[in-house]
Chain A
Amino acid sequence: MNYYKIAGITFALSGFEYEYFKDRMKAYEISGAPTPDVTVYYEQVLFPIQKPDYKHIVTTGGFREYFSDGGGYIFYDKFENDSQSCAKVEINADASVVHTALYDIEDIGGAPVDVRCFNMLGEVFRYCILKRNGMVVHSSSICHNGAGIIFSAPSGTGKSTHTSLWMKYYGDNTQMINDDCPAITFGKSVPYVNGTPWSGKTNINFNISAPLRAVVLLQQKPENKIQRISVDEAIFRLLHEVTRPAYKDLMNQTLGNIEKIVTSTPVYLLGCTIDKEAVDLVRRII
């Protein structure tokens, strides 16, 4: 068993023996054998995984099949034909025990099995945190003078480029938290932004957390301009940048979390040209 703490949640991981995996998780490792919040079991199997008998709910992306056994959260990734899967995740009803497996076939989706394993745990995390007063938001996040700021937008808009400018011009009092999908937690008086091992295409993530001061939604525009947006618009835009679970109770939890963000934290829409001026505009407002 190896133990990790991510966004305040203690994980006991069994069977995750890949070097790549351990490297990516290193900053979140903890010593001792504390009582975990979530125990995750993993095995790499030599044969395609048989689909379970549970009730099928929905299939997304043409390959991810979600099932319900009456309480837990179960998803399998299809492979080749309808009865075989190459990945399995079974999370129990209170997300305290998870069973996962990967069928190791040469580079499914262009990734070797150790990378697939690491990414799969990232998906497990997204579900587990929803049961523990938290949520992953697709955004590039920084800590500036002790304040957590998340810059959210659809992929390709320029979030990472924007935060890299904060680091370039104000690196002395700015820290990256997570460049792609930090975890927001709601246990304290204000929401907190937390680093996690999963940070999209880069490995830019740190095991730190900061109180959330502002949510900035980015849009590429010819001119730099920032404004507070209405609660309705904030809800709509944020809904695009979070996991929308296939399960009603988790979706309810997600909506509740979005409500916590929009009622406690100012949400801005920044139309920007992704340059220093845009950074300064945000600094003035916050």
Chain B
Amino acid sequence: MKVKDSFVLRKIAGSNVVVPIGSETADFNGMMTLNETGAMLFGMLNKDRSIEDLTNAMLSEYDVSAAEAETDVKAFIETLEKAGMLE
């Protein structure tokens, strides 16, 4: 999966902020802030990635078990899915 092109991630004053681009004023309710892990995963999703790709990235970055990494990745993907950010 990958994140749609219509979202921008940027660090603003210490917060990782995700904003939709091209959206209409009336629809804009969606500013999402991500923690560092989320920002890392989001950044990877600018290309087509599998759950395995993301889990491996987490394992190389953080001291967690494979099971924890997979759970966290799946939860994060579900959040993005619900927000309509994935294509």
Q: Which residues of A contact B (CB under 8 A)?
A: 57-58, 60-61, 66, 231-232, 235-236, 239-240, 244-248, 251-252, 255-256, 258-259, 262-263
- Asked if A248 contacts B8 (CB within 8 A), the reply is yes
Which residues of B sit under 8 angstroms from A256, Cβ to Cβ? 10, 12
- Asked if B13 contacts A262 (CB within 8 A), the reply is yes
In the complex, besides A60-B23, A245-B22, 8 extra interface pairs with C-beta distance below 8 angstroms are A58-B22, A60-B24, A239-B31, A244-B19, A245-B21, A246-B21, A251-B8, A255-B19
Q: Given A239-B31, A240-B28, A244-B28, A255 and B12 touching (CB < 8 A)? A: yes
Chain B 1-25 interface 0/1 with A at a Cβ cutoff of 8 Å (1 = within): 0000110101011110101111111
Determine the distance from Cα of A63 to Cα of B69 in the docked complex, in whole angstroms.
45
Which residues of B sit under 8 angstroms from A263, Cβ to Cβ? 13
Which residues of B sit under 8 angstroms from A231, Cβ to Cβ? 12-15
Q: Count of B residues near A, CB < 8 Å?
A: 19
Q: Given A239-B28, A240-B28, A248 and B13 touching (CB < 8 A)? A: no
Chain A to chain B: the 8 pairs with minimum beta-carbon distance, closest first: A58-B22, A246-B22, A259-B12, A251-B21, A231-B13, A255-B10, A60-B24, A251-B8
Determine the distance from Cα of A236 to Cα of B18 in the docked complex, in whole angstroms.
11
Which residue from A60, A232, A239, A240 sits with its C-beta under 8 Å from B15? A232
A217 CB → nearest B CB, Å: 15
Determine the distance from Cα of A60 to Cα of B24 in the docked complex, in whole angstroms.
6
Which residues of A sit under 8 angstroms from B13, Cβ to Cβ? 231, 235, 259, 262-263
B24 CB → nearest A CB, Å: 5
Q: Which residues of B contact A (CB under 8 A)?
A: 5-6, 8, 10, 12-15, 17, 19-25, 28, 31, 33
Which residues of A sit under 8 angstroms from B5, Cβ to Cβ? 248
- Asked if A235 contacts B15 (CB within 8 A), the reply is yes
- Asked if B8 contacts A262 (CB within 8 A), the reply is no
- Asked if B22 contacts A66 (CB within 8 A), the reply is yes
Task: Sample 29 A-B pairs with CB under 8 A, ordered by A number.
Answer: A58-B22, A60-B22, A60-B23, A66-B22, A231-B12, A232-B15, A232-B33, A235-B15, A235-B17, A240-B25, A240-B28, A244-B19, A244-B20, A244-B21, A244-B28, A245-B21, A245-B22, A246-B21, A247-B21, A248-B21, A251-B21, A252-B10, A255-B8, A255-B10, A255-B17, A259-B12, A259-B13, A262-B12, A263-B13
A260 CB → nearest B CB, Å: 9
Q: Given A244-B21, A245-B21, A262-B13, A58 and B6 touching (CB < 8 A)? A: yes
Q: Which residue of A lies closest to B26 (CB)?
A: A61
Determine the distance from Cα of A236 to Cα of B31 in the docked complex, in whole angstroms.
7
Which residues of B sit under 8 angstroms from A259, Cβ to Cβ? 12-13
Determine the distance from Cα of A242 to Cα of B46 in the docked complex, in whole angstroms.
26
Determine the distance from Cα of A232 to Cα of B8 in the docked complex, in whole angstroms.
16
Which residues of B sit under 8 angstroms from A236, Cβ to Cβ? 31
Which residues of A sit under 8 angstroms from B21, Cβ to Cβ? 244-248, 251
Which residue from B12, B20, B23, B25 sits with its C-beta under 8 Å from A258? B12
